[in-house]
Amino acid sequence: MNPPLLDDLRRGDALLIVDVQNDFLPGGSLAVPAGDEVVEPLNRAITAFHEASLPIFASRDHHPPDHCSFRPRGGRWPVHCVAGSHGAAFADGLHLPADTVVVSKATTAERDAYSAFDHTDLREQLRAAGVVRLFIGGLATDYCVKATVLDGRAAGLDVVVLMDAVRAVEVEPGDGDRAIEQMRAAGAVVASAGVAR
């Protein structure tokens, strides 16, 4: 069904891993169901991009302790991904190369940001690296992945969603599928990172 495009990488491609942080994995404060299952396919994608000398970006939710999205402040989410905490760290099993470009988002108390493009320098970094096609996986399908994919399309990039490397929060059942539909309607293509060889 979803073709493994990772055998067909070319100049202008980049990998963007969205928010694969401890708080979004099982045991974390805002655990995405089966969120840990994205790690293995993402490691496969990392290997493919690294071996092809193509750039790898990793976004992270990077909130101050009094962030406006937190319940104690009247927000909708439990406290999560507080900058410097274990919960904010990338998953241990995720094998990010040393030259991964880290993009921190929603870093100030009064603003939330789901998209990795929102008030970050990601667009400029991608432009500087000559990126025209972005492969995206991570957490969560129905929030930060969706917002990032839609912003990537709006910025004129080709976007490939790695279906086996995303998982949804599903506050309402079906949110994940609806998010994928929205991304496809915006011109994103779906593919698979494939199983380890």
Residues that bind ligand VGL (CB under 6 A): 19, 61, 69, 77, 139-140, 143-144
Candidates 61, 144, 146, 164; catalytic one: 144
CB of 130 to ligand VGL, least distance (A): 27
CB nearer ligand VGL, residue 131 or residue 140: 140
From Zn ion, ligand VGL, none, which one binds at residue 148 (CB under 5 to 8 Å depending on kind)?
none
**C-alpha to C-alpha distance for 45 and 25, rounded to whole angstroms:** 19
Candidates 13, 36, 81, 105; catalytic one: 105
CB nearer ligand VGL, residue 9 or residue 113: 113
Q: By the 8 A CB rule, do 54 and 112 touch?
A: no
Residue 28's nearest CA partner among 73, 92, 72, 106 is 92
Q: By the 8 A CB rule, do 58 and 102 touch?
A: yes
Structure token pair of residue 142: 């129905």
| DSSP string for residues in 24-47 | GSTTSTTPPTTGGGGHHHHHHHHH
Which is it for strands 189-191 and 101-105: parallel, antiparallel or unpaired? Answer: unpaired
Beta strands in the chain (DSSP E): 13-18, 56-61, 101-105, 133-139, 158-167, 189-191
> Is 61 a residue that touches Zn ion (CB under 5 A)?
yes
Q: Is 19 a catalytic residue?
A: yes
CB nearer Zn ion, residue 13 or residue 112: 112
CB nearer Zn ion, residue 3 or residue 75: 75
Total residues at the site for Zn ion (CB under 5 A)? 1
CB of 195 to ligand VGL, least distance (A): 25
Q: Which residues are catalytic?
A: 19, 105, 144
| Interface contacts to Zn ion, rule CB under 5 A | 61
